[in-house]
Structure 1
Protein backbone atom coordinates (compact mmCIF):
# COMPACT_ATOMS: atom_id res chain seq x y z
CA UNK A 1 0.00 0.00 0.00
CA UNK A 2 2.84 2.42 0.77
CA UNK A 3 4.33 1.86 -2.66
CA UNK A 4 0.96 2.45 -4.33
CA UNK A 5 0.40 5.69 -2.42
CA UNK A 6 3.89 6.86 -3.24
CA UNK A 7 3.26 6.44 -6.96
CA UNK A 8 0.02 8.41 -6.94
CA UNK A 9 1.67 11.31 -5.14
CA UNK A 10 4.79 11.20 -7.30
CA UNK A 11 5.59 13.94 -9.73
CA UNK A 12 5.26 12.16 -12.51
CA UNK A 13 7.43 9.89 -18.11
CA UNK A 14 9.21 6.58 -22.98
CA UNK A 15 10.70 6.41 -26.25
CA UNK A 16 8.12 7.70 -28.71
CA UNK A 17 6.56 4.89 -30.74
CA UNK A 18 6.03 5.57 -34.45
CA UNK A 19 6.63 8.77 -36.41
CA UNK A 20 7.12 12.06 -34.49
CA UNK A 21 4.25 14.52 -34.45
CA UNK A 22 4.62 18.08 -35.74
CA UNK A 23 4.80 19.33 -32.15
CA UNK A 24 7.60 16.90 -31.35
CA UNK A 25 9.59 17.93 -34.42
CA UNK A 26 9.09 21.58 -33.54
CA UNK A 27 10.20 21.37 -29.93
CA UNK A 28 13.18 19.18 -30.81
CA UNK A 29 14.43 21.83 -33.21
CA UNK A 30 14.52 24.51 -30.50
CA UNK A 31 17.64 23.09 -28.85
CA UNK A 32 20.97 21.69 -29.97
CA UNK A 33 21.45 19.75 -26.75
CA UNK A 34 21.42 16.02 -27.45
CA UNK A 35 20.88 15.11 -23.78
CA UNK A 36 17.74 17.23 -23.47
CA UNK A 37 16.35 15.77 -26.69
CA UNK A 38 17.18 12.23 -25.57
CA UNK A 39 15.46 12.60 -22.20
CA UNK A 40 12.38 14.23 -23.71
CA UNK A 41 11.95 11.32 -26.11
CA UNK A 42 12.41 8.80 -23.31
CA UNK A 43 9.57 10.54 -21.49
CA UNK A 44 7.18 10.50 -24.45
CA UNK A 45 4.89 7.64 -25.41
CA UNK A 46 2.72 5.14 -23.54
CA UNK A 47 3.53 3.30 -20.31
CA UNK A 48 1.71 0.59 -18.38
CA UNK A 49 2.25 -1.55 -15.34
CA UNK A 50 2.99 -5.20 -16.03
CA UNK A 51 -0.10 -7.21 -17.11
CA UNK A 52 0.79 -9.59 -14.29
CA UNK A 53 0.38 -6.85 -11.69
CA UNK A 54 -3.28 -7.26 -10.73
CA UNK A 55 -2.95 -5.15 -7.58
CA UNK A 56 -1.77 -1.98 -9.33
CA UNK A 57 -3.12 -1.32 -12.83
CA UNK A 58 -1.93 1.87 -14.53
CA UNK A 59 -1.79 3.17 -18.09
CA UNK A 60 0.08 6.44 -18.51
CA UNK A 61 0.08 8.24 -21.87
CA UNK A 62 2.23 11.23 -22.84
CA UNK A 63 2.23 13.42 -25.93
CA UNK A 64 4.31 16.44 -26.92
CA UNK A 65 2.60 19.85 -26.92
CA UNK A 66 3.54 23.46 -27.61
CA UNK A 67 2.73 26.34 -25.26
CA UNK A 68 2.28 29.80 -26.78
CA UNK A 69 5.19 32.12 -26.07
CA UNK A 70 7.11 29.56 -23.98
CA UNK A 71 10.49 27.93 -24.52
CA UNK A 72 11.54 24.48 -23.35
CA UNK A 73 10.15 21.09 -24.31
CA UNK A 74 6.58 20.43 -23.17
CA UNK A 75 4.39 17.34 -22.94
CA UNK A 76 0.99 16.37 -21.58
CA UNK A 77 0.53 13.24 -19.46
CA UNK A 78 -2.64 11.42 -18.45
CA UNK A 79 -2.65 8.61 -15.92
CA UNK A 80 -5.58 6.16 -15.81
CA UNK A 81 -5.87 3.62 -13.00
CA UNK A 82 -7.83 0.60 -11.82
CA UNK A 83 -9.84 -1.96 -13.68
CA UNK A 84 -12.20 0.77 -14.90
CA UNK A 85 -9.24 2.88 -16.07
CA UNK A 86 -10.60 6.09 -14.63
CA UNK A 87 -8.66 9.29 -15.20
CA UNK A 88 -6.58 9.79 -12.08
CA UNK A 89 -4.10 12.51 -12.99
CA UNK A 90 -3.44 15.02 -15.76
CA UNK A 91 -0.27 17.09 -16.00
CA UNK A 92 1.69 19.36 -18.29
CA UNK A 93 5.45 19.05 -17.95
CA UNK A 94 8.19 21.44 -19.04
CA UNK A 95 11.82 20.41 -19.60
CA UNK A 96 14.66 22.96 -19.66
CA UNK A 97 18.40 22.61 -19.83
CA UNK A 98 20.01 23.51 -16.49
CA UNK A 99 22.71 26.15 -16.19
CA UNK A 100 25.41 23.46 -16.07
CA UNK A 101 24.55 22.61 -19.68
CA UNK A 102 24.04 18.92 -18.86
CA UNK A 103 21.27 18.42 -16.31
CA UNK A 104 17.59 18.85 -17.19
CA UNK A 105 15.01 20.57 -14.99
CA UNK A 106 11.43 19.27 -15.03
CA UNK A 107 8.56 21.47 -13.84
CA UNK A 108 4.99 20.17 -13.61
CA UNK A 109 1.65 21.95 -14.00
CA UNK A 110 -1.99 20.91 -13.68
CA UNK A 111 -4.79 22.00 -16.05
CA UNK A 112 -7.12 24.71 -14.85
CA UNK A 113 -9.96 22.93 -16.69
CA UNK A 114 -8.99 19.26 -16.53
CA UNK A 115 -12.08 18.06 -18.42
CA UNK A 116 -10.98 19.98 -21.52
CA UNK A 117 -7.91 17.83 -21.97
CA UNK A 118 -9.21 14.34 -21.11
CA UNK A 119 -7.84 11.84 -23.66
CA UNK A 120 -6.03 14.67 -25.40
CA UNK A 121 -3.32 12.20 -26.40
CA UNK A 122 -5.86 10.88 -28.95
CA UNK A 123 -7.09 14.32 -30.06
CA UNK A 124 -4.12 16.61 -30.87
CA UNK A 125 -6.46 19.49 -31.73
CA UNK A 126 -7.27 19.66 -28.02
CA UNK A 127 -3.98 21.45 -27.43
CA UNK A 128 -4.35 24.09 -30.15
CA UNK A 129 -3.67 27.52 -28.67
CA UNK A 130 -2.42 26.08 -25.37
CA UNK A 131 -1.17 28.86 -23.07
CA UNK A 132 0.15 29.30 -19.54
CA UNK A 133 -3.28 30.59 -18.51
CA UNK A 134 -4.57 27.04 -19.09
CA UNK A 135 -2.45 25.62 -16.26
CA UNK A 136 -1.04 26.26 -12.80
CA UNK A 137 2.07 24.94 -11.00
CA UNK A 138 1.66 21.69 -9.07
CA UNK A 139 4.29 22.63 -6.48
CA UNK A 140 6.31 25.75 -5.72
CA UNK A 141 9.90 26.80 -6.27
CA UNK A 142 12.45 24.31 -4.99
CA UNK A 143 10.28 21.32 -5.98
CA UNK A 144 11.62 20.94 -9.50
CA UNK A 145 12.87 17.49 -10.47
CA UNK A 146 16.47 17.60 -11.71
CA UNK A 147 17.59 14.90 -14.15
CA UNK A 148 21.13 13.81 -14.99
CA UNK A 149 22.79 10.81 -16.62
CA UNK A 150 24.84 8.44 -14.51
CA UNK A 151 27.95 6.56 -15.60
CA UNK A 152 25.82 3.84 -17.20
CA UNK A 153 23.81 6.32 -19.25
CA UNK A 154 20.68 5.96 -17.12
CA UNK A 155 18.72 9.17 -16.58
CA UNK A 156 17.99 9.72 -12.89
CA UNK A 157 15.78 12.46 -11.48
CA UNK A 158 15.64 13.85 -7.97
CA UNK A 159 13.50 16.26 -5.96
CA UNK A 160 15.53 17.49 -2.98
CA UNK A 161 13.48 17.34 0.25
CA UNK A 162 15.74 19.97 1.78
CA UNK A 163 14.46 22.44 -0.84
CA UNK A 164 10.91 21.24 -1.51
CA UNK A 165 8.44 22.23 1.20
CA UNK A 166 4.63 22.26 0.97
CA UNK A 167 1.82 22.88 3.43
CA UNK A 168 -0.22 19.74 4.01
CA UNK A 169 -3.93 20.55 4.44
CA UNK A 170 -4.56 17.08 5.81
CA UNK A 171 -1.78 17.27 8.38
CA UNK A 172 -2.08 21.04 8.89
CA UNK A 173 1.67 21.41 8.89
CA UNK A 174 4.61 21.90 6.55
CA UNK A 175 6.14 18.76 5.09
CA UNK A 176 9.15 18.15 2.88
CA UNK A 177 8.89 16.21 -0.37
CA UNK A 178 11.62 14.00 -1.81
CA UNK A 179 11.33 12.07 -5.07
CA UNK A 180 13.51 9.84 -7.22
CA UNK A 181 12.96 8.53 -10.72
CA UNK A 182 14.81 6.84 -13.55
CA UNK A 183 14.52 6.03 -17.24
CA UNK A 184 16.34 2.89 -18.32
CA UNK A 185 15.59 1.78 -21.88
CA UNK A 186 11.93 0.71 -21.80
CA UNK A 187 11.41 1.18 -18.06
CA UNK A 188 10.30 4.19 -16.02
CA UNK A 189 10.64 4.04 -12.24
CA UNK A 190 9.29 6.52 -9.70
CA UNK A 191 9.40 6.86 -5.93
CA UNK A 192 8.38 9.60 -3.50
CA UNK A 193 8.60 10.23 0.21
CA UNK A 194 7.37 12.83 2.67
CA UNK A 195 9.29 14.09 5.71
CA UNK A 196 8.52 16.28 8.68
CA UNK A 197 10.51 19.43 9.46
CA UNK A 198 13.20 17.31 11.14
CA UNK A 199 13.52 15.04 8.09
CA UNK A 200 11.82 12.10 9.75
CA UNK A 201 9.89 10.00 7.17
CA UNK A 202 6.11 10.35 7.49
CA UNK A 203 4.90 8.55 4.32
CA UNK A 204 6.04 7.09 1.05
CA UNK A 205 8.19 4.29 -0.28
CA UNK A 206 11.42 3.05 1.20
CA UNK A 207 14.74 4.22 -0.28
CA UNK A 208 15.44 2.22 -3.43
CA UNK A 209 11.82 1.05 -3.73
CA UNK A 210 10.15 2.06 -7.02
CA UNK A 211 6.88 1.72 -8.85
CA UNK A 212 7.85 0.69 -12.39
CA UNK A 213 6.01 1.12 -15.68
CA UNK A 214 6.98 -0.46 -18.99
CA UNK A 215 6.89 1.06 -22.44
CA UNK A 216 3.72 0.02 -24.17
CA UNK A 217 2.69 0.55 -27.78
CA UNK A 218 -0.70 2.19 -28.19
CA UNK A 219 -2.30 -0.97 -29.57
CA UNK A 220 -1.19 -3.02 -26.59
CA UNK A 221 -2.36 -0.31 -24.19
CA UNK A 222 -5.76 -0.33 -25.85
CA UNK A 223 -5.97 -4.11 -25.55
CA UNK A 224 -5.00 -3.93 -21.89
CA UNK A 225 -7.54 -1.18 -21.23
CA UNK A 226 -10.26 -3.30 -22.88
CA UNK A 227 -9.23 -6.34 -20.87
CA UNK A 228 -9.35 -4.34 -17.66
CA UNK A 229 -12.81 -3.09 -18.56
CA UNK A 230 -14.04 -6.64 -19.16
CA UNK A 231 -12.47 -7.78 -15.91
CA UNK A 232 -14.40 -5.13 -13.98
CA UNK A 233 -17.80 -6.31 -15.24
Structure 2
Protein backbone atom coordinates (compact mmCIF):
# COMPACT_ATOMS: atom_id res chain seq x y z
CA UNK A 1 0.00 0.00 0.00
CA UNK A 2 1.34 3.39 -0.95
CA UNK A 3 1.14 5.82 1.94
CA UNK A 4 -0.46 9.17 1.17
CA UNK A 5 1.23 12.39 2.12
CA UNK A 6 -0.92 14.84 3.98
CA UNK A 7 -0.99 17.90 1.71
CA UNK A 8 -1.62 20.18 4.66
CA UNK A 9 1.51 18.97 6.43
CA UNK A 10 3.53 19.28 3.23
CA UNK A 11 2.26 22.81 2.70
CA UNK A 12 3.12 23.79 6.27
CA UNK A 13 6.63 22.41 5.88
CA UNK A 14 7.11 24.32 2.65
CA UNK A 15 5.75 27.48 4.29
CA UNK A 16 8.14 27.12 7.21
CA UNK A 17 11.05 26.79 4.80
CA UNK A 18 10.02 30.01 3.07
CA UNK A 19 9.66 32.24 6.10
CA UNK A 20 11.14 35.69 5.53
CA UNK A 21 14.69 36.14 6.80
CA UNK A 22 14.92 39.86 7.69
CA UNK A 23 18.66 39.72 8.38
CA UNK A 24 19.34 38.16 4.98
CA UNK A 25 17.22 40.84 3.34
CA UNK A 26 19.16 43.57 5.12
CA UNK A 27 22.45 42.12 3.90
CA UNK A 28 21.39 41.48 0.28
CA UNK A 29 19.32 44.58 -0.43
CA UNK A 30 22.25 46.34 -2.15
CA UNK A 31 23.79 43.20 -3.65
CA UNK A 32 20.62 41.75 -5.17
CA UNK A 33 17.91 44.43 -5.01
CA UNK A 34 15.71 42.78 -7.64
CA UNK A 35 15.61 39.42 -5.86
CA UNK A 36 15.37 40.98 -2.40
CA UNK A 37 12.44 43.26 -3.21
CA UNK A 38 10.71 40.47 -5.13
CA UNK A 39 10.89 38.44 -1.93
CA UNK A 40 9.73 41.41 0.18
CA UNK A 41 6.68 41.94 -2.05
CA UNK A 42 5.81 38.24 -1.97
CA UNK A 43 6.34 37.90 1.80
CA UNK A 44 6.18 41.31 3.49
CA UNK A 45 7.78 41.80 6.90
CA UNK A 46 8.27 44.82 9.12
CA UNK A 47 11.12 43.79 11.42
CA UNK A 48 13.95 45.41 9.45
CA UNK A 49 11.95 48.57 8.57
CA UNK A 50 11.39 49.21 12.29
CA UNK A 51 15.05 48.50 13.07
CA UNK A 52 16.13 50.83 10.24
CA UNK A 53 13.96 53.64 11.60
CA UNK A 54 15.32 53.22 15.13
CA UNK A 55 18.96 53.01 14.01
CA UNK A 56 18.56 56.02 11.71
CA UNK A 57 17.19 58.06 14.61
CA UNK A 58 19.92 56.95 17.02
CA UNK A 59 22.69 57.68 14.51
CA UNK A 60 21.48 61.28 14.36
CA UNK A 61 22.48 61.85 17.99
CA UNK A 62 26.22 62.55 17.34
CA UNK A 63 25.35 65.05 14.60
CA UNK A 64 22.85 66.91 16.82
CA UNK A 65 25.31 66.99 19.72
CA UNK A 66 28.03 68.32 17.43
CA UNK A 67 25.72 71.07 16.15
CA UNK A 68 24.84 72.26 19.66
CA UNK A 69 28.47 72.21 20.81
CA UNK A 70 29.39 74.52 17.94
CA UNK A 71 26.56 77.00 18.47
CA UNK A 72 27.57 80.41 19.84
CA UNK A 73 26.08 81.33 23.25
CA UNK A 74 22.44 82.32 22.91
CA UNK A 75 21.45 85.34 25.06
CA UNK A 76 18.64 84.55 27.47
CA UNK A 77 18.73 80.81 26.83
CA UNK A 78 19.26 78.62 29.93
CA UNK A 79 22.42 76.47 29.73
CA UNK A 80 20.30 73.34 30.28
CA UNK A 81 18.60 73.92 26.93
CA UNK A 82 22.01 74.11 25.26
CA UNK A 83 22.97 70.67 26.55
CA UNK A 84 24.36 68.45 23.75
CA UNK A 85 22.85 65.38 25.42
CA UNK A 86 19.40 66.98 25.48
CA UNK A 87 19.75 68.07 21.86
CA UNK A 88 20.78 64.55 20.85
CA UNK A 89 17.80 63.02 22.62
CA UNK A 90 15.34 65.48 21.10
CA UNK A 91 16.83 64.95 17.64
CA UNK A 92 16.58 61.16 17.94
CA UNK A 93 12.96 61.22 19.10
CA UNK A 94 11.98 63.78 16.45
CA UNK A 95 13.67 61.78 13.69
CA UNK A 96 11.99 58.55 14.79
CA UNK A 97 8.55 60.17 14.94
CA UNK A 98 9.00 61.70 11.46
CA UNK A 99 10.18 58.40 10.00
CA UNK A 100 7.22 56.53 11.50
CA UNK A 101 4.78 59.16 10.21
CA UNK A 102 6.28 59.34 6.73
CA UNK A 103 6.47 55.54 6.39
CA UNK A 104 2.72 54.83 5.89
CA UNK A 105 2.28 58.10 3.96
CA UNK A 106 4.88 56.98 1.43
CA UNK A 107 3.20 53.56 1.26
CA UNK A 108 -0.11 55.24 0.37
CA UNK A 109 1.65 57.34 -2.29
CA UNK A 110 3.09 54.17 -3.80
CA UNK A 111 -0.38 52.61 -3.81
CA UNK A 112 -1.87 55.65 -5.54
CA UNK A 113 0.83 55.79 -8.20
CA UNK A 114 0.53 52.05 -8.72
CA UNK A 115 -3.21 52.41 -9.27
CA UNK A 116 -2.56 55.19 -11.78
CA UNK A 117 -0.30 52.78 -13.67
CA UNK A 118 -2.99 50.11 -13.63
CA UNK A 119 -1.51 48.02 -10.82
CA UNK A 120 -3.53 46.97 -7.78
CA UNK A 121 -1.18 47.16 -4.80
CA UNK A 122 -1.85 45.67 -1.38
CA UNK A 123 -1.20 48.16 1.45
CA UNK A 124 0.79 45.61 3.46
CA UNK A 125 3.17 45.04 0.55
CA UNK A 126 3.48 48.76 -0.12
CA UNK A 127 4.17 49.41 3.57
CA UNK A 128 6.94 46.80 3.61
CA UNK A 129 8.58 48.29 0.51
CA UNK A 130 8.33 51.83 1.90
CA UNK A 131 9.91 50.67 5.15
CA UNK A 132 12.84 48.96 3.46
CA UNK A 133 13.50 52.10 1.39
CA UNK A 134 14.53 53.81 4.64
CA UNK A 135 17.78 51.92 4.03
CA UNK A 136 19.07 55.03 2.24
CA UNK A 137 18.20 57.23 5.24
CA UNK A 138 20.05 54.75 7.46
CA UNK A 139 23.13 54.94 5.24
CA UNK A 140 22.95 58.75 5.29
CA UNK A 141 22.80 58.85 9.10
CA UNK A 142 25.57 56.27 9.35
CA UNK A 143 27.92 58.27 7.11
CA UNK A 144 27.17 61.50 8.99
CA UNK A 145 27.73 59.88 12.39
CA UNK A 146 31.01 58.27 11.32
CA UNK A 147 32.38 61.49 9.82
CA UNK A 148 31.38 63.52 12.90
CA UNK A 149 33.17 61.08 15.20
CA UNK A 150 36.20 60.67 12.92
CA UNK A 151 36.62 64.14 11.40
CA UNK A 152 34.80 66.39 13.83
CA UNK A 153 32.09 67.45 11.40
CA UNK A 154 29.42 65.68 9.32
CA UNK A 155 30.37 65.04 5.70
CA UNK A 156 28.08 63.66 3.01
CA UNK A 157 29.80 62.73 -0.28
CA UNK A 158 28.09 64.83 -2.92
CA UNK A 159 28.01 68.13 -4.76
CA UNK A 160 27.31 70.15 -1.63
CA UNK A 161 30.45 69.12 0.25
CA UNK A 162 32.33 72.39 -0.27
CA UNK A 163 29.49 74.76 0.58
CA UNK A 164 29.50 76.98 3.65
CA UNK A 165 26.63 76.81 6.20
CA UNK A 166 25.20 80.03 4.73
CA UNK A 167 25.29 78.58 1.20
CA UNK A 168 23.67 75.35 2.36
CA UNK A 169 20.59 77.31 3.46
CA UNK A 170 20.01 78.71 -0.05
CA UNK A 171 17.89 76.97 -2.74
CA UNK A 172 21.08 76.23 -4.69
CA UNK A 173 22.63 74.76 -1.56
CA UNK A 174 19.60 72.55 -0.95
CA UNK A 175 19.72 71.28 -4.53
CA UNK A 176 23.44 70.53 -4.46
CA UNK A 177 23.29 68.96 -1.00
CA UNK A 178 20.65 66.49 -2.15
CA UNK A 179 22.76 65.42 -5.12
CA UNK A 180 24.71 62.95 -3.04
CA UNK A 181 25.49 59.28 -2.66
CA UNK A 182 22.45 58.47 -0.52
CA UNK A 183 20.11 60.02 -3.10
CA UNK A 184 21.65 57.73 -5.70
CA UNK A 185 21.17 54.76 -3.37
CA UNK A 186 17.51 55.69 -2.86
CA UNK A 187 16.87 56.05 -6.60
CA UNK A 188 18.67 52.76 -7.24
CA UNK A 189 16.68 50.83 -4.62
CA UNK A 190 13.40 52.54 -5.43
CA UNK A 191 13.69 51.57 -9.09
CA UNK A 192 13.89 47.87 -8.24
CA UNK A 193 11.37 47.98 -5.39
CA UNK A 194 8.65 49.84 -7.31
CA UNK A 195 9.20 47.67 -10.35
CA UNK A 196 8.45 44.61 -8.22
CA UNK A 197 5.62 46.27 -6.27
CA UNK A 198 3.82 47.58 -9.35
CA UNK A 199 4.76 44.66 -11.60
CA UNK A 200 6.02 47.12 -14.18
CA UNK A 201 9.23 47.74 -16.08
CA UNK A 202 12.26 49.18 -14.34
CA UNK A 203 12.28 52.06 -16.82
CA UNK A 204 8.80 53.15 -15.68
CA UNK A 205 9.72 52.64 -12.04
CA UNK A 206 12.88 54.72 -12.51
CA UNK A 207 10.92 57.50 -14.22
CA UNK A 208 8.37 57.57 -11.38
CA UNK A 209 11.15 57.58 -8.78
CA UNK A 210 13.02 60.46 -10.41
CA UNK A 211 9.81 62.50 -10.74
CA UNK A 212 8.90 61.97 -7.06
CA UNK A 213 12.45 62.77 -5.97
CA UNK A 214 12.54 65.92 -8.13
CA UNK A 215 9.21 67.13 -6.68
CA UNK A 216 10.47 66.68 -3.11
CA UNK A 217 13.71 68.44 -4.04
CA UNK A 218 11.84 71.34 -5.64
CA UNK A 219 9.64 71.69 -2.55
CA UNK A 220 12.73 71.74 -0.30
CA UNK A 221 14.39 74.38 -2.47
CA UNK A 222 11.19 76.44 -2.45
CA UNK A 223 11.02 76.34 1.35
CA UNK A 224 14.68 77.40 1.52
CA UNK A 225 13.91 80.34 -0.78
CA UNK A 226 10.98 81.42 1.40
CA UNK A 227 13.14 81.12 4.50
CA UNK A 228 15.83 83.30 2.96
CA UNK A 229 13.40 86.19 2.41
TM over 0.5: no
More strand by proportion, 1 or 2?
Answer: 1
Q: TM-score, normalised by structure 1?
A: 0.23
Q: Which is higher, the Rg of structure 1 or of structure 2?
A: 2
Q: TM-score by structure 2 length?
A: 0.24
